[in-house]
Structure 1
Amino acid sequence: MAASNPTQNAATGISDRIDPVTFEVLRNSFEYACTRMATIMQRTSFSPILADILDFSNAIYDAEANLLAQAANCPVHLAAMKFSADAALKRFPKETLKPGDIVALNDPYQGGTHINDITFVMPIFHETTLIGFAVSRGHWMDLGGGAAGGMSFSTHIAAEGLRLPPIKLYENYEINEDFLAIIMNNTRTPFYIKGDLQAHLGALKAAEAEVTRAADRYGRDLVQLAMKELIAYTERIVRKSIEIIPDGVYEAEDFADTDGFSPDPIKVKVKLTIEGSNITVDFTGSDPIVKGSINSPYANTASAALYSLQFFLAPHAPSNAGMFAPIKLIIPEGTWLNPVWPAPTIGCTTLTSSKITSAIWQALAQAIPERVTGSTCSECNWFVSTAVDRAKGIAGVFSDLPAGGWGGTPFNDGMNVTMDPLGNCMNMAAETAELFFPIEYESFDLRQDSAGPGKYRGGLGAVFKVRYRCEGELNMETSRTRQGSPGVNGGGFSAVQRSSHLYPDGSHQVIGGLSPNGDWTSPLLSGHAFNYDEQFLFESTGGGGWGKPSERPVDKVLDDVLDEYISIDAARRDYGVVIDPATMKVNEAETARLRKLQP
């Protein structure tokens, strides 16, 4: 009886069958397994989007496919990978799996998100007993479809590329050559495939080695007990953090600019209900399925909701299934946040998840205004372009994620040019891009006046410019081109984003967003042609402000002007601070007068 109903340590809540030191050692060994997976992925993958941008995620699960630990990779992947693991086990029940079996899938309607994100699920056995799963997900550069990267912005998911249901891609660690041939025949970048597959395989085998080594050293029973206790431990931490938030109902909305077909914004509506140590996240009232490619499958919407909350619940807690136990999700089927086949989904992880985060953070600002930040740039700004140098016979596909700013916080200004929370990815290094492709990165500068004003202003966005030394076709998803990201607690909106085509004669064309005359063009681009020596210019937005701009100290506004973060005009318009352009000193009398007029 003592073995099946162990007592708990009063201080930790952990079973007395495992001492606190061993518990911590095993917890760290699980986390180390994931970190080692990530290191192997970065160092051995072939495609720049994995090796340089780090658009991948790795995690381990227990024998019941409950998240046990994860590396600090892409948040939008991490919570969603559970749904892929479940889909893999539905197709291949765990009782049928053997060592070295690896199931691969990317179907958005079977646990996936968008087609480019491929998930690999491998069982981990200790001797003959299944004790867990290793899961690795990577964003692959291209899997066919009507445009590079699958960004055809069509009305049917078939146009986005090769859609894999759960398939047993490996048996006994050996790849199925027929499946491999199908995958390589359905991509513009076959030269990356084998290298990236081996990187995923190496990551999975590293997790297997670490988990089985722990079982060898501490015993399988103790390791499995530690897995169970670790998830329960995190749940207790998260529940205590929820109990601090005042009970109540908090609602907010955010919008995507367009689905590429309708001129109307697409709405995310969220209602957070907090009761004791539980949170219900209800998306009832969000818009129906849309025609364009920004629909978000259930796994993606759930992942966005879960990671968005964890920023302000218990980010210090070990990352596992216990984080999600207190959270109930209501995502009505038939909305763009829970579509049905054949709705296209290519923009779901990059565009839609960031709007879900912004809406949730705005709702939380009503409950815990002293803790929440202004919205980030709330965009991934993902673009994929062909690069074809016909004279040299070079053809490739390159991609990047020009970042924007984060929102102001209750304590300081937002971070400049930082990847949106959905990704935790890197920008493509200019040296890498120019080495691989016939292009030149000409600028990646801070963008003046891009941040939302506030007592603590948002971080700045960027001015990104690339020159084609070849022919190319640009495909891009972005938003925030009608209105920037919102602030909280009186903070202002950031600037709008804009995409432009620059020509050698000095002329330019706005190809996404607002033109100088006020005309607006959809920012969802597919197959936009560039010729030799033409340039693509993207202006990203900053984050929303925190608190009233009139409460920002005058000396900080002056510093921002001197640093060229904001202009003299913006200092006067947004902050009521008047600066003499000749002396660069504050006109104190006029500033005092204007600040009295500000709310």
Structure 2
Amino acid sequence: MAKTLMPREGVSLAAQAHKTWNDVEVDPITLKVIGGSLNSMAKEMAQVLYRMAYSSLIRESEDLGAGIFDVNGRELCESDSTPMHCGSIPAYIRGINRRLAGTYKPGDVILHNHPYHGAAHSPDYGVVIPIFWEGEHIGFAGCTGHVSDIGGNFPGLCMDVVDVWAEGKLMDSMKIYDGGVRNDMLIQHILDNVRTPEQNRGDLEALIACSRIGEKRFTELLEKYGLDTVMSASEAWMDYSEHMLRERIRALPNGSYEAPVGYLDDDGKNRGVPVKVAVRVQVEDEDVLIDLTGSNDQVPTAFNVPFEGSVLPVAVSAIRTILLDEYVTEEFVPQNDGCFRPVRAYAPEGTIFNPDFPASCFARFSQVNRIFDSINLALAPVLPDHAVAGSSAALCAIAYSGVAEDGESYWVYIEINEGSYGARNGKDGMDAVDALMANTRNNPIEELELNHAMRAERYELRDESPAPGQWRGGIGSVRTWLMQTDTFLGSEADNRNDPPAGVLGGADGVSGAFVRNAGRDDEEILFSKVTQEMVREGETLEIRMPSGGGFGDPFEREPQAVLMDVWDEYLSAEEARRDYGVVVNTSDWTVDVEGTRALRSARAAS
């Protein structure tokens, strides 16, 4: 049965575990040194993974996560990469423990990707290595990364699939090394069932190397300071992060805060039928519940979300990001298990955020981004200095593929297109950047054109003006590909038919679009979610990403800032007058101070 309520157990898990170490007092200097070491080793793990990986999504976009965890999966440290990857690894470990606890040996390497046993979704391979110290199992080094293909009914990304098995090859707690002995036949079986065996082999070796360097670095730390000191310091850091987050939660008024109900375009099959997202944030003293009651029933496609591996991490990441924003928080607060303890998530069984097995849940990122966006909007009235206006919140993952020249495999390229952030109090929204839970980088055009039969004809900010506000919304990107060979297209994006919301008087943003052969006689608007679409040689595909909402009354924006937007061609002089009440002298491109004052005064009087 799917679990409907999954708080991170926090300290209670540690109490249940067989402790092989003793609590000791750690002086402040040693505590900071060990904390810095944990932070550094997680970053080094991620560096190893993305530098070694073969697939562009890990190598270029850094769609990965890495860290060190205790025997129960509590996170001691994580890399500065994709929050969804890092936040899901504890669930991977809990899923692996359910089958392998008590069987671990030095030299084991476990591969896992089962979405109903902790994985974020099946394309995210997780590799976990148990860490031993003086013969005792004391933790794990683990990492995840999105591989190019896992088999299934369509190359790279799939939407219209019947169940979880149709997604591709499922690995449930599989020891690919058992006590240091490599299972070559099992690994070969895995690679024989994917379309990109060379890329997957390279990614798998990179994932193993990443976890091994984590195991090595953590063991070195134990050799220097001893198990008692290192684990006591780790507990102190987790308690500190928990304390800091609970302190911020206590500053919020108790109550129930609901975001406006949102709607995703469709489920990838039932066209014209929007998918409902309902989010409520319940604040009670120093605890937060993210309640998804009222969200859509699960759908018959891959557009469902694994609860433990995806919903819970996004709930925690949203609360931690909003309340412990580094921009407004002077103290350094590490991301670890302590941040999970005050936050719970609830989703009724049989809904898109807690599907019943064996429903497919391959494509889940647009939905979880809407959870994050909705949590932010729900809290905006009580956190005007922290929240942002609506963001693109629609990770645009597109898979392009075709049969390779050898005729025995496929080339698969998965790209992440950049949306934008909404504005915030005191800051304009960031343009053309992956928002919220993604944190992935864009892929260089040169690398793509070198390796694939595609040519970029356009890659820049959208033409539409940013959403007006005292601080304007961010602008999404627009990209146009010319296909130089017949190319399969798979997409799990969302165009935001309900555009990103403005906040406190700011205007809404702009929706996105997929357009085949834009500007030609045979122009065609495509759905945002497609499976087995073909873009023929000589055809183009234009991807327009959503632009974020504005924050605050546009007529309160500094006239000089409006003028600079006109100079930068974000706005026309007419838009400056209409949307901001700023009169621009087009003869010398300066602000007409008196005209602006009169226009704004008239608007205030009316």
Global fold match (TM > 0.5): yes
Q: Deviations over 1:113-145 (max 9, x none)?
A: 222111111111112122211111000011122
Q: Determine whether 1:278 maps to 2:287.
A: yes
Q: Report the counterpart of residue 20 of structure 2 in structure 1.
A: none
Give unpaired runs (5+ residues) of structure 2.
Answer: 1-22, 326-331
The one-letter amino acid of 2:471's match is: Y
The DSSP-based 3-state class of the residue aligned with 1:443 is: strand
From 361, 365, 370, the counterpart of 2:385: 370
**Residue-by-residue CA offset, 1:258-309 (whole Å, 9 max, x unaligned):** 1123323222212212122111221112121122322111021111111111
1:70 Cα offset (Å)? 0.2
- CA distance in 2 between counterparts of 1:91 and 1:467 reads 48
In the alignment, residue 403 of structure 1 is paired with which amino acid?
E
Structure 1: runs of 5+ lacking an equivalent: 1-14, 513-521
1:493-541 Cα deviation digits (max 9, x unpaired): 11110111117x94352333xxxxxxxxx31122221222221111112
What TM-score comes out, normalization by structure 2 length? Answer: 0.90
Please give the alpha-carbon distance, in whole angstroms, between the structure 2 residues aligned to 1:169 and 1:412.
49
Residue 302 (structure 2) aligns with: 293
Q: What displacement does 1:170 show?
A: 1.7
Match of 1:597? 603
Residue in structure 2 matched with residue 344 of structure 1 by the alignment: 360
In the TM superposition, 1:236-385 aligns within 5 A as 236-252=243-259, 253-262=261-270, 263-299=272-308, 300-315=310-325, 316-348=332-364, 350-385=365-400
Distance 2:572 2:118 in 1: 47
Counterpart of 1:55 (choices 60, 63, 67) is: 63
Q: Quick one: distance in 2 between partners of 1:110 and 1:57?
A: 18
Do the aligned residues in 2 keep the contact of 1:476 with 1:525 (CA within 8 Å)?
Answer: yes
How big is each residue's C-alpha offset from its partner over 1:343-366, in whole Å with a ceiling of 9 and x where there is no partner? Answer: 222220x21111001110011102
For the residue of structure 1 that corresponds to 2:381, the secondary structure is helix
Q: Does 1:440 align with 2:455?
A: yes
| Alignment partner, residue 567 of structure 2 | 562
Instruction: Render the CA deviation track for 1:426-466: whole Å, top value 9, x for unaligned.
Output: 11111111121121122211113253221111111111111
Shift of the alpha carbon at 1:54? 1.0
Residues 570/264 of structure 1: CA separation in 2 closer, same or farther (3 Å cut): farther
Q: Is the 8 A contact 2:316 2:340 kept in 1?
A: yes
In the alignment, is residue 466 of structure 1 matched against residue 477 of structure 2?
no
User: Which one of the candidate residues 160, 178, 196 is aligned to 2:185?
Assistant: 178
Decide whether the 8 Å contact of 1:452 with 1:486 is kept in 2. Answer: no
State the 1:584 CA deviation: 4.6
Q: Structure 1 residues 571, 388: closer, same or farther in 2, change over 3 A? A: farther
Aligned counterparts of 2:194 and 2:406: Cα–Cα separation in 1: 23
Distance 1:375 1:28 in 2: 34
Q: Of the candidates 97, 106, 117, which is equivalent to residue 110 of structure 1?
A: 117
Residue 230 of structure 1, aligned match among 204, 224, 237: 237
CA distance in 1, matches of 2:580, 2:422: 17
> Aligned in 2, Cα 1:393/1:414: closer, same or farther, shift over 3 Å?
same
Tell me which moved more, 584-593 or 487-496.
Answer: 584-593
Of 459-468 and 177-186, more deviation after overlay is shown by 177-186
- 2:438 is aligned, of 413, 423, 428, to 423
Q: Quick one: which of 452, 460, 474 aligns to 2:467?
A: 452
- Partner SS for 1:367: coil
Give CA deviations for 1:11-50 in whole Å, capped at 9, x if unaligned.
Answer: xxxx871101111111111111111101101111111111
2:32 is paired with a residue of what secondary structure? helix
Which residue pairs with 2:521 in the alignment? 507
Choose which of 552, 557, 582 in structure 2 pairs with 1:547. 552
Closer, same or farther in 2 for the Cα pair 1:219/1:459, shift >3 Å? same
**Please, which of 533, 538, 544 is the counterpart of residue 543 of structure 2?**
538
Structure 2 partner of 1:42: 50
Query: Which amino acid is 1:436 matched to?
Result: N
Kindly indicate whether the alpha-carbon contact (under 8 Å) linking 2:52 and 2:202 is maintained by their aligned counterparts in 1. Answer: yes
SS at match of 2:466: coil
Q: For 2:460 and 2:437, how far apart are their aligned partners in 1?
A: 22
2:289 counterpart letter in structure 1 = T
State the alpha-carbon separation in 2 of the partners of residues 380 and 329 from structure 1.
22
Structure 1 vs Structure 2: percent identity of aligned residues?
A: 29
Q: 1:383 to 1:280 in 2, by over 3 A?
A: same
SS in structure 2 opposite 1:195?
Answer: helix
- Report the Cα offset of residue 223 of structure 1: 1.4
Assess if the C-alpha contact under 8 Å between 1:483 and 1:493 holds in 2: no
The letter of the residue matching 1:254 is: G
Q: Amino acid of the residue matched to residue 493 of structure 1?
A: D
* Distance change >3 Å, CA 527–CA 232, structure 1 → 2: same
Letter in 2 for 1:160: E
One-letter amino acid of the counterpart of residue 483, structure 2: Y
Taking structure 1 as reference, are residues 26 and 378 closer, same or farther at Cα in structure 2, changes over 3 Å only?
A: same
239-248 or 561-570, larger mean C-alpha shift: 561-570
Secondary structure at the counterpart of residue 172 of structure 2 = coil
Shift of 1:591: 7.8
Instruction: Find the residue that maps to 2:380 and give its secondary structure.
Output: helix
SS of structure 2 residue aligned to 1:456:
coil
Give the counterpart letter for 1:589 in structure 2. G
- The one-letter amino acid paired with 1:534 is E
Structure 1 stretch displaced more, 468-477 or 307-316: 307-316
Letter in 2 for 1:295: N
Q: Secondary structure at the match of 2:488?
A: strand
Kindly provide the amino acid, as one letter, of the partner of residue 185 in structure 1.
D
| Secondary structure, counterpart of 1:149 in structure 2 | coil
Change (3 A) 1:143 1:487: same
Match in the other structure for 2:529? 524
Select the structure with the greater relative contact order (CA < 8 A; seq sep ≥ 6). 2
CA distance in 1, matches of 2:184, 2:450: 31
CA distance in 2, matches of 1:81, 1:457: 36
Compute the RMSD of aligned alpha carbons.
2.3
Q: CA deviation at 1:594?
A: 6.7
Output the amino acid matched with 2:398: F
Write the letter of the residue equivalent to 2:557: R
1:92 and 1:16 map into 2 onto residues whose CA distance is: 30
For the residues of structure 2 that align with 1:241 and 1:496, how far apart are their CA atoms?
33
**Residue of structure 1 in register with 2:142 after alignment:** 135
Whole-angstrom distance in 1 between the partners of 2:456 and 2:305? 32
Task: Specify whether residues 572 and 185 from structure 1 end up closer, same or farther in structure 2 by C-alpha distance, changes over 3 A only.
Answer: farther
Amino acid at match of 1:106: N
**Separation in 1, partners of 2:322, 2:442:** 26
Q: How much has 1:392 moved relative to structure 2? A: 10
What is the match of residue 128 of structure 2?
121
Cα deviation digits, residues 456-483 of structure 1 (max 9, x gap): 1111111111111111011112223423
Q: How does 1:89-100 map to 2 (within 5 A)?
A: 89-93=97-101, 95-100=102-107
Aligned length: 573
Contact 1:450–1:541 under 8 Å retained in 2 = no
- Tell me, in whole angstroms, the C-alpha distance in 2 between the residues paired with 1:339 and 1:394: 33
How far did residue 551 of structure 1 move? Answer: 1.4
Cα pair 1:496 1:541 within 8 Å, conserved = yes
Deviates more, 1:72-81 or 1:526-535: 526-535
Alignment partner of 1:31 is 2:39: yes
